[in-house]
Each structure stands twice: as structure tokens, then as C-alpha cells.
């Protein structure tokens, strides 16, 4: 594989990976990571211009940040689901300055039974 072909293929995989992350298709991300690793292992980077390598590195770092943000969002969602399962009281909201504040009953959740 020529350096130009390798550059094109790696770039295409990085773009597909970005699209998959943004769309939440994590199963596609897994497949693309394997494809990217195969391409990287078979590429002679000495034949690729340093500016092209910089561009690839920037795209890979962008994807890494996107994936980290997606994972953080998933962790927050899982924590919120667990909080709701445990019967959390009150409501969390934000102030005008962006700070988080809790509104609630202050006590344990109660079930009131009327006859």
C-alpha cells in the first residue's frame, strides 16, 4: 500500500469513527478501532509528509475527546437512573449563575395510604 493510499484510508476511518461517535453507534466505533489499528500497523509513516501526520493526529485527538465526552455522559446518565431507582427525593436544578441546586422535601420519601 502506498503512503498516499494509507493516508486516505486512515483519514476515512477517522472520519467514519467521528460520525459513529456523534451518532452514538458505539458498536461501529469498536469495529472502526480494529480497522484503524490494522491500517496503522501496516503503514510506513516515514513516507508520509509531517503536515499530513499532524492532521491525522489532530483528528485522532478530536475523536478521543468526543469519545471521552460520550463516556462521561453515559456515566452521568447511569448515575441518574440509579438515583431515580433508589427513590431520590426532590429535584436538582440550576441557578441563574449556572450553579447546581437541589429542591426537595428534605426527608425520606413517603408513601401515603388513604383508606
Q: Per DSSP, which regions of the chain are E strands? A: 91-94, 100-103
Element (H, E) at 102: strand 100-103
Q: 1 versus 109: which is more confidently predicted?
A: 1
pTM above 0.75, yes or no: no
Has residue 10 got a pLDDT over 70?
A: yes
Eight-class DSSP state of 106? S
Q: What is the predicted pLDDT for the residue at 101?
A: 84
Has residue 47 got a pLDDT over 80?
A: yes
Residue with cell 448515575: 79
Which residues lie across from 91 on neighbouring strands? 103
Has residue 3 got a pLDDT over 90?
A: no
Non-local (6+) Cβ contacts of 43 within 8 A are 1, 3, 6, 10
Amino acid at each position: 500500500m502506498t503512503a498516499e493510499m494509507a493516508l486516505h484510508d486512515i483519514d476515512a476511518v477517522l472520519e467514519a469513527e467521528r460520525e459513529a461517535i456523534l451518532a452514538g453507534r458505539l458498536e461501529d466505533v469498536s469495529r472502526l478501532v480494529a480497522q484503524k489499528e490494522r491500517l496503522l500497523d501496516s503503514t510506513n509513516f516515514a513516507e508520509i509528509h509531517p503536515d499530513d501526520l499532524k492532521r491525522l493526529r489532530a483528528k485522532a485527538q478530536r475523536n478521543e475527546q468526543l469519545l471521552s465526552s460520550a463516556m462521561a455522559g453515559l456515566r452521568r446518565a447511569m448515575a441518574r437512573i440509579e438515583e431515580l431507582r433508589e427513590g431520590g427525593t426532590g429535584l436538582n436544578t440550576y441557578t441563574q449563575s449556572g450553579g447546581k441546586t437541589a429542591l426537595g422535601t428534605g426527608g425520606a420519601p413517603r408513601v401515603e395510604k388513604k383508606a
